[in-house]
Each structure stands twice: as C-alpha cells, then as structure tokens.
C-alpha cells in the first residue's frame, strides 16, 4: 500500500521532498568544503614548516636548521565557515609566521572585509549580526565583534580628513548635526560640522566633517572652513554657498570666501517668521511668503515681497523685518540656472543626509566616544558618495 502511495503524490509533496533534497545537498557540500579547506590550510602549514626546517618529517639530515616540536589546536573563522580543531605545527626554536593567517588571528581577512563591507553599506552592528548568524551561527558573530572589526576604519577616517580636495565645486552647503557621546563625567551633545558640495559635472559629494568642541560658533566654523581651504578648496569656481540662519557660519563664510554669494535657507527663515506670529496666523503668513521664492524671476520676487509686506506689516512688523533684513541673501538663488532654484533656495539637500545619519544612529542612544561617532558618520558618507558618483544631478548635466 505504501509503495502505491509513493507513486501518487501532489505538487505539495514534490516541493517538500525537493526542499529536503536541497537541504541535504547543500548541507553535505558545506561540510565537505570545510573539511577540504581545513586540509588545505594544514597541508600548507606543513610545507612552510618543512621549508623553514630544511627537512621533512623524521628525516635526519646534517644541514637541518631546526626541529619540529609537536602541535596545538585552535579554531579559525573563515569565509567558508568556522573551522574547529585546526592543527597548528610548532618548532623547537623561534616562531613561525604562517601565510594563511597571523598569530592570534581569530578571523581571516576575507571575513573582516565582508563585515566591513556590510557596515559601510549602511547596516548597523546589530543588523550585520542578524544577517551573518544563519551563515556562521550565533556564537560566531556578535554586535561587539562587528564593532571591534569596524575600529579598523579609524585609519580610513583619518585619511578622509587629511585628503587633498580638488577645487571643482560650484555650489557648497554647510550645516551641523548634533549627536550624543559620552564624556568623562556624563553624556552630552556633540556638534558635527558638515560640508556638502556639487561639482561642475553634477556629482554630489559629502566633502568632510568635523566634531566641533564649541558647537556652531564662528570660531568652530572658521576653523573648519579654513581646513577645507588649506586642503585645496580655494573656491575659484564657486557660484554660491547655501547656509541656514547661523550667524557664526555666515561670518565665517564672509571671512574665508568673501566674494562668493551666500544663499540663506528659506525653510529656516520661514520657521523664524512663524515664531513672530500667533499660532493661528502662522500657516497663512508662510503660505503667502511662498510667493516670494516661487516667482519666475528676481524682479517678480521683489514685487511679491512688497505685496506680502504690505499685508503683514500692520499685523506683525517683526515677521516682516525677519525676511526684510536678509532679503538680498534670500534671493541670490535667482542668479543661478533656473533648474537649480529648488535645490539652492534651502539646505534640504544636506538635511536629507542628516536624516540618514539619524536613522543609522537611532539605535545608539549614546556613543562611547567621538571616534565611534566618526566611524558611523564616515560609513554613511562613504556609502552615499559611492552612490552619487554614478548618479550626477540631471539639472547640471542637462544644462551643460
């Protein structure tokens, strides 16, 4: 009866049996691969010992340089899986530097590169652990292990800060983002100053960042901008610099690049206007102010401001003064190509990157130090720069 039932099975039975065959097949392949890799490494080490000693096992030669001294066992995490009971030969005098792996090395370079690649691609330390657990097991990887591997990025972060900058930017954006990090006494907010640029060919780039001890003060911004200029960003081809309403940043830009026009962010400005009004009037006022920056040209924008000012000055003189005092810097984007107006009239381009930074750092309530904070920022920036390198802005490429 059972033999007859075996002849008649449904598609569901086929799928179940095929999944079992696949599991058995790939399980056997993985085991055999680990055995083969283990044998290969052990054979390679035996050959290295033989070359170092000057003779094979149990050979008595007068020109022998050294002698074997047994062996010991250790484990190694490779890209093929976790090798246990790896037999490591020893010699009587001195030590051996094997080519397969270094002394005390727990993971091969390929595994470290895999973890670093996932970290740089935007995965958090916990997410890397979740992805690698099915491949290597729960005991092989932990969030702390990923964090330790990521510390090798410190050299890359240092190179990133010290790199030479090509003077090929037409637009610059500056802003700061605040993240929490521990201090010797308690945790506190640390300000990260960021420079974002658009090149002549339309490629966007997060140029550099710096942890500022004095927040977004003029001294901090001037120091950061000076370092960019000394690294090669002379600003000869700069057409505009977009900033928020920070006075320290504005003063620093005037000192470092005094001849470059400044574009103040309309989003920040309208928030300041709202603060001058009662809650019920804020929506109507800011909506009507939108006619200023959405005009067809600068002349019409000035007319729109006069019209808006005439309506709102009797209601809230402070709200009108808030825009009137910086009107020239708010309308500088009209001197640029029309396709770029939407991107230049605010600092939203750099603010979007800050949202990505906050997404990556949300699981981390507080960084242990500024180094760990810089590694996360570098990982986010490195990934985004690689994406942008292949996707230049159409507004610039089509215009050119």
258-300 confidence digits (pLDDT tens): 999 999 999 999 999 999 989 999 999 999 999 999 999 999 9
pLDDT at 28: 63
What is the pLDDT at residue 358? Answer: 83
User: How far apart are alpha carbons 169 and 384 in whole angstroms?
Assistant: 17
Torsion (CA) 122, 126, 129, 130 in degrees, nearest 10: -90
CA dist., res. 157 & res. 117, Å (int) = 15
Q: What token pair was written down for 172?
A: 């610059």
pLDDT reported for residue 259: 93
Predicted confidence (pLDDT) at residue 122 exceeds the cutoff of 80? no
Q: How many CB atoms lie within 10 A of CB 168?
A: 16
pLDDT attached to residue 133: 73
Q: Where are the beta strands (DSSP E) in 48-133?
A: 68-78, 81-91
Rounded mean pLDDT, 78-104: 79
In the predicted structure, residue 108 carries a pLDDT above the cut 70:
yes
| Host H or E run for residue 28 | helix 11-53
Q: What percentage of the chain reaches a pLDDT higher than 90? A: 41
Reported pTM = 0.73
Q: Kindly tell me the sign of the dihedral angle through the C-alpha atoms of 104, 110, 115, 121.
A: positive
Say how far apart CA 202 and CA 27 lie, in whole Å. 49
Using alpha carbons only, what angle is made at residue 321 by residues 315 and 324, rounded to the nearest 5 degrees?
A: 125
Question: How many Cα atoms within 13 Å fall on the side-chain side of residue 150?
Answer: 26
Q: Which phi and psi (to 5°) does residue 86 adopt?
A: -70, 125
């Amino acid at each position: 009866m059972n033999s007859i039932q075996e002849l008649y099975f449904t598609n569901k039975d086929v799928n179940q049996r095929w999944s079992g065959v696949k599991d058995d097949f790939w399980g056997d392949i993985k085991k055999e691969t680990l055995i083969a890799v283990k044998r290969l490494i052990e054979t390679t080490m035996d050959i290295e010992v033989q070359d170092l000693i000057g003779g094979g096992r149990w050979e008595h030669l007068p020109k022998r340089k050294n002698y074997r001294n047994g062996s010991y066992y250790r484990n190694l995490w490779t890209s093929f899986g976790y090798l246990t009971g790896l037999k490591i030969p020893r010699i009587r005098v001195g030590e051996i530097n094997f080519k397969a792996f270094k002394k005390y090395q727990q993971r091969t370079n390929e595994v470290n590169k895999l973890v670093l690649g996932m970290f740089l691609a935007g995965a958090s330390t916990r997410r890397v652990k979740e992805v690698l657990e099915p491949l290597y097991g729960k005991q092989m990887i932990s969030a702390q292990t990923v964090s330790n591997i990521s510390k090798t990025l410190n050299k890359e972060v240092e190179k990133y800060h010290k790199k030479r900058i090509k003077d090929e930017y037409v637009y610059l954006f500056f802003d700061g983002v605040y993240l929490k990090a521990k201090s010797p006494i308690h945790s506190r907010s640390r300000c990260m100053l960021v420079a974002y640029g658009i090149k002549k060919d339309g490629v966007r780039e997060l140029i550099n960042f710096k942890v500022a001890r004095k927040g977004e003060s003029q001294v901090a911004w001037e120091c950061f901008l000076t370092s960019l200029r000394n690294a090669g960003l002379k600003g000869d081809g700069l057409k505009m610099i977009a900033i928020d309403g920070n006075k320290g940043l504005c003063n620093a830009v005037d000192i470092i690049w005094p001849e470059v026009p400044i574009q103040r962010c309309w989003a920040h400005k309208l928030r300041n206007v709202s603060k001058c009004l009662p809650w019920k009037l804020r929506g109507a006022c800011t909506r009507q102010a939108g006619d200023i920056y959405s005009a067809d040209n600068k002349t019409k924008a000035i007319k729109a401001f006069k019209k808006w000012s005439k309506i709102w000055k009797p209601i809230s003189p402070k709200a009108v003064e808030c825009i009137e005092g910086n009107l020239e810097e708010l309308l500088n984007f009209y001197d640029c190509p029309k396709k770029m107006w939407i991107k230049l009239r605010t600092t939203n381009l750099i603010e979007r990157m800050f949202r990505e930074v906050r997404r990556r750092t949300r699981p981390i309530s507080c960084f242990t130090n500024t180094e760990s904070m810089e590694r996360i920022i570098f990982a986010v920036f490195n990934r985004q720069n690689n994406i942008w390198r292949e996707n230049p802005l159409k507004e610039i490429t089509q215009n050119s």
